[in-house]
Amino acid sequence: MRQISASQLQEWLADSARPQPVLLDVREPWEFEACRIAGSQSMPIRGVPARYHELKRDDDIVIICHHGARSFQAGMFLEQMGFGGIINLQGGVAAWARDVDPSMPTY
């Protein structure tokens, strides 16, 4: 599975010439409400096996969690289901808050 840093993701999202990825946040709803990367969609990890059919297999999908472990697990599952463009956000929203958006609430 490919990995992306928060800074690399920020550059990608700022590049209007590049197709934008799906930002899939697999944290719990209370975590998603506390803070999130703009444009991300919530799909808590426990629901991924039942809801993965809502995603397109050929999209680039950046999976996001708090520190990068749950997103890695969700990414492994999606790859097993035949998804090819899975990318894990290294360090999760904690890295995003630290490296990209220091105004983002943390928990």
Q: Which long-range contacts (CB under 8 A, 24 or more apart) does 44-48 make?
A: 45/70, 45/73, 45/74, 48/74, 48/77, 48/78
Hey, which residues does 86 pair with through a beta bridge?
61
Q: Which active-site residues does the annotation give?
A: 65
d(C-alpha 65, C-alpha 48), whole Å: 13
